[in-house]
Amino acid sequence: MSDEAVGVCPAAFCGRGQMELDRCVELSKYALDQGADGVVVISPFYINLPDSAVLNFYGQVAEQVKGDIFLYNFPARTGYDLRPDLVYRLTDGYKNIVGIKDTVGDMGHTRAVIRKLKKDFPDFQIYSGFDEFFGHNVLSGGDGCIAGLSNFAPELAAGYVKAARRNDLTEMCRYQQKIDGLMDIYGVGQQFIPIIKKAMVLRGISMEPYCAQPMLAATEKETEEIRRILSEGGLL
């Protein structure tokens, strides 16, 4: 949990095949050239790949991209898991692979990555992909989370981080309970991104809550549910 702001660009949401690999490298290089501190690279998706193909994909990206790379493990979207042993092999083989966003519903998986990696690679950054796992992550020796809720509740995310840095468990408990309540927002609609955007608008951020097709904007019914969650969380 660095005190400095870090810009990490999700520049490489790439599919399968050589063309997508080349596009991934191109976008990653562009993001770094524009000043990003690193890039988050999700694995190829749709086709369930063997370990050899996953290692080859990330290996080629790491060799061609001269900057910090964060692995993005999201089994629900890619169809397979970056297991702790795979993460270890990639980290051991490529010095510019410096961290991982582990978006899994089981904190046990992230904890296993922490235990596997941190002993030999203490500077390897391990983030959870779900806000509610922040406390468990840092108490287990990880580096926190990449929080979707921080888009519309940055003060809560920042407060939780500050409490963790002070080792203030009482305050961490208070923030955890606030985050737990706000996690209901992920259940408002099947497409959570339009829901997050609508929450940002309701909190006064000057933007339009549009999403690229096929995602649809939040409905009136969903908007009322978002408003209820924000109000109960003391954000409206």
Domains located in the chain, CATH noted: 8-146 (3.20.20.70)
| Token reading at 39 | 């890039």
What average pLDDT values come out for the chain (236 residues) when binned by 10 residues? 46 49 93 95 85 94 96 91 97 97 94 97 97 95 94 95 95 96 95 94 92 91 97 96
Preceding omega of 214 cis (within 30 degrees of 0): yes
pLDDT of residue 8: 45
Please tell me the predicted confidence (pLDDT) of residue 2: 44
- Other Cβ atoms closer than 10 A to 210: 11
Nearest C-alpha neighbor of 76 from the set 100, 108, 43? 43
Instruction: Say what the pLDDT of residue 6 is.
Output: 44
Q: What pLDDT is stored for residue 49 in this prediction? A: 85
H-only helix segments in 42-99 = 51-64, 75-78, 84-93
Q: Copy the structure tokens of residue 35.
A: 């000043």
User: Would you state the pLDDT for residue 216?
Assistant: 92
Confidence at residue 14, expressed as pLDDT on a 0 to 100 scale: 44
User: How deeply is 165 buried, as exposed, middle or buried, from its count of CB atoms within 10 A (0-12, 13-18, 19+)?
Assistant: exposed
At residue 212, the pLDDT reads 87
Which two three-digit tokens encode residue 234? 């003391």
pTM above 0.95, yes or no: no
What is the radius of gyration, based on Cα positions, of the chain? 18
Q: Which long-range contacts (CB under 8 A, 24 or more apart) does 220-227 make?
A: 222/188, 222/189, 222/195, 222/198, 223/198, 225/188, 226/185, 226/188, 226/195, 226/198, 226/199, 226/202, 227/202
Query: What SS3 state is found at 112?
Result: helix
Torsion angle in degrees (nearest 10) through CA of 117, 122, 124, 126: 70
Burial class (CB in 10 A: 0-12, 13-18, 19+), 214: exposed
Whole-angstrom Cα distance, residue 149 to residue 219?
A: 20
Tokens linked to 64: 């061609």
Q: What is the largest CA-CA distance in the chain?
A: 51
What's residue 211's pLDDT? Answer: 87
**What span, in angstroms and rounded, lies between the C-alpha atoms of 152 and 203?**
7
Give the model's pLDDT for residue 218. Answer: 94
pLDDT, residue 43, reads 86
- State the pLDDT at residue 45: 82
